[in-house]
Amino acid sequence: MNTGLGALMITAIANTCLHTMSGPDHYVPFIAISRSRKWSVTKTVFLTLLCGLGHVSGSIILGIGAITLGWSMTKIGWLDAVRGGFAGWALLAFGIAYAAWGLWRASRNAAHKHFDVMGEEVYVYQHRHGEYVMPQDRRKVTPFLLFIIFAFGPCEPLIPLMAHPAASASYWNLFLLVSVFTLFTLATMVTMVLLGYFGFPMLKTERLEKYMHFLGGVTIIICGAGMVFLGW
Any idea where the domains of the chain sit in the sequence? 3-108+154-229
Number of residues written out for the chain: 232
Among 10, 228, 30, smallest CA distance to 117 is for: 30
Lowest mean pLDDT among 58-62, 124-128, 154-158: 124-128
Mean predicted lDDT score pLDDT of the chain: 78
Q: pLDDT tens across 152-162, in order?
A: 877 777 777 77
Dihedral angle, C-alpha 76, 5, 26, 24, nearest 10 °: -110
Other C-beta atoms closer than 10 Å to the C-beta of 79 total 13
User: 147 — phi, psi (to 5°)?
Assistant: -65, -45
Confidence of residue 46 (pLDDT cuts 50, 70, 90): very high
Does residue 210 or residue 99 have the better pLDDT?
99
Question: Which pLDDT does position 187 carry in this prediction?
Answer: 96
Angle of CA points 70, 68, 50, to nearest 5°: 110
- The CA distance from 41 to 48, in Å, is 10
> Above 80 in pLDDT, residue 113?
no
Q: pLDDT tens across 169-194, in order?
A: 677 888 888 899 999 999 999 999 99
> What percent of the chain clears pLDDT 70, i.e. is strictly above it?
72
Question: Which pLDDT does position 3 carry in this prediction?
Answer: 64
Q: Residues 6 or more apart from 101 whose CB is under 8 A from it?
A: 213, 217
> In terms of C-beta density within 10 A (0-12 exposed, 13-18 middle, 19 or more buried), how is residue 17 classed?
middle
